[in-house]
Amino acid sequence: MQASARAYLEGGRTGAGLAALRAEVGRLMAGFAENGAVAVEPAALLPADILIDLYGEDLRARAYTTHDPILGEQMLRPDFTVPVAQMHLESGAAKGRYAYAGSVWRRQEPGSARPVEYLQCGFEAFGDTNTAQADAEVFALLAEALRGAPVAPIVGDMGIILAGIAALETTAPRKAALMRHLWRPERFKRLLERYAAPTPQNKSRGALLTAVKTNTLEALLGTHGPTIGLRSVAEIQKRAEVLLEDANTPPIPATQVALLERALGIKAPMGEAIKALRKIAIEMPALTLATDMIEARAEAISTFGIDGFQLPFEASYGRTTLEYYDGFVFGFAAEGRTDLPQIAQGGRYGALTRAMGRETPAVGGIIRPEALLALGGDT
């Protein structure tokens, strides 16, 4: 790669190429500012512990880490969402809208052609309590910024799977386990299958459950080995009780699993998807509220001059992109350009603010300006 090349753009670091990119970023930032966003510039080097705590150990395989003898482990900013949310939560303000532009860094698989450094230009809105309206506004704002570019939108809603899990006829711990693996679709599927079948029991598990029932767990643990480490006998006792409850829990009815899987398999224009969801909601009424939200959002999007009911909808979209999306999710793909990533993407992430200590309505999205320029078109 030449020194003047950057993500998706030859010569994007010098002369006319750089000027064109700066103009494009300026245009996007101006559009965000017109919609009430304050410009922010988070640090490029972030404390690793906060990010790992939020995203998990997997992040280490995707982000660059470096070590400072005083500050400890640091990470090159893998995205803007966390530092921008931090800025907002620290401000103490109920509402806030922010715009930013800058590099993010991601490690890539060996042999991958994807860039390790690229620009993101984004908009985040916190504290808007009218969910459908705020979702529609962010989506329309990004759609407007991309007007004239050959991109195809796609939308989804994590609310369906959340409502579906809540509706299952099963125990709270099982629902919590399913919720925990929402963003790991394969693991989620395995769990759901396990919960839909009678709980199998091997000899070791049988002995454990008997010991809980007969109050002899401590004696049983003693035969296994001495108590070492931070995880205590009380914690084992607690989990053994959960396992005992689980062993006595009837399987989730197959009809419910089928309904949930049917709902998650929906791929259709939003208007059609709403009809299909209403049909499923006859047997799974808990989906009604989630469907009402999708309909309200489609209507709100339509007030921005985009036919919300014609947008391609996929019920499982967003489950592998990023943990913490827990409502509306959307993306704009570069049509016919497999060499380019999604040109823009975003969604609602209240779960992230909850994990950060103060739950706040939060929705936002990013555009990749280099990829957008590489795509050409008439923006």
Applying CB under 8 A, the residues found at the interface with another protein are 52-53, 56-58, 60-61, 109-111, 177, 180-181, 184, 186-187, 190, 202, 204-205, 207-208, 211, 217, 220-222, 224-231, 233, 235-236, 238-240, 242-243
Facing residues of 330 across strands?
155, 346
CB 77 within 8 A of CB 45: yes
Please tell me the distance from the alpha carbon of residue 2 to that of residue 175, in angstroms, as a whole number: 52
Contacts of 37 (CB under 8 A, 6+ apart): 97, 98, 99, 123
DSSP annotation of 250: P
Chain-centroid distance of CA 169 in Å reads 26
**Shortest distance in whole angstroms from residue 213 CB to another protein:** 14
Question: Which CB, 27 or 231, lies closer to another protein?
Answer: 231
**Shortest distance in whole angstroms from residue 158 CB to another protein:** 17
**Shortest distance in whole angstroms from residue 71 CB to another protein:** 18
Question: Which CB, 22 or 231, lies closer to another protein?
Answer: 231
Facing residues of 46 across strands?
75
**Shortest distance in whole angstroms from residue 244 CB to another protein:** 10
**Shortest distance in whole angstroms from residue 281 CB to another protein:** 29
Question: Which CB, 59 or 270, lies closer to another protein?
Answer: 59
Question: Which CB, 111 or 305, lies closer to another protein?
Answer: 111
Look-up of token digits 């603010």: 353
Question: Which CB, 103 or 112, lies closer to another protein?
Answer: 112
Question: Which CB, 152 or 243, lies closer to another protein?
Answer: 243
Q: Kind of pairing, strands 45-47 and 65-68?
A: unpaired
**Shortest distance in whole angstroms from residue 228 CB to another protein:** 5
Please tell me the distance from the alpha carbon of residue 268 to that of residue 252, in angstroms, as a whole number: 28
Look-up of token digits 């970023």: 25
**Shortest distance in whole angstroms from residue 368 CB to another protein:** 25
Question: Which CB, 206 or 376, lies closer to another protein?
Answer: 206
Neighbours of 37 (CB within 10 A): 21
Facing residues of 366 across strands?
122, 345
Neighbours of 317 (CB within 10 A): 20
CB 363 within 8 A of CB 123: no
3-class SS of residue 159: helix
Would you put residue 339 in left (φ > 0), alpha (ψ -120 to 50) or beta? alpha
Please tell me the distance from the alpha carbon of residue 315 to that of residue 304, in angstroms, as a whole number: 23
Question: Which CB, 34 or 218, lies closer to another protein?
Answer: 218
**Shortest distance in whole angstroms from residue 190 CB to another protein:** 8
